[in-house]
């Protein structure tokens, strides 16, 4: 497998190797991929938890009168200026 990286990403990997964090580029890439997989699994776990809570609330007859759009808007991070 061949992976083409920008010079900026190559510099980041080189720095990580030189600073002693990794033995080589493969080790760095391997850990980056594993962290991405872990992050995705954590997001999926949180989503499943939220869906379970929603199902339990619906089964108890607890519904919101707010729209999905309003709920999303209320949970968006506040933009700093």
Q: Is the CB of residue 59 less than 8 Å from the CB of residue 50?
A: no
Query: pLDDT tens-digit profile of 13-30?
Result: 999 999 999 999 999 999
Backbone angles phi, psi at 55, to 5 degrees: -65, -45
Neighbours of 19 (CB within 10 A): 8
77 pLDDT tier (thresholds 50, 70, 90): confident
Query: pLDDT tens-digit profile of 34-76?
Result: 999 999 999 999 999 999 999 999 999 998 888 989 988 888 8
Q: For the chain, give percent helix, strand, coil, nearest 5.
A: 70, 0, 30
Q: Is the CB of residue 40 less than 8 Å from the CB of residue 32?
A: no
């Amino acid at each position: 497998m061949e992976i083409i990286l920008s010079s900026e990403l190559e510099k980041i990997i080189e720095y990580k190797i030189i600073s002693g964090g990794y033995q080589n580029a493969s080790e760095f890439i391997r850990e980056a991929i594993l962290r991405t997989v872990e992050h995705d699994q954590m997001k999926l776990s949180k989503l499943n938890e939220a869906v379970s809570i929603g199902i339990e609330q619906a089964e108890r007859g607890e519904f919101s009168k707010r729209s999905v759009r309003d709920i999303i808007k209320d949970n968006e991070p506040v933009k700093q200026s």
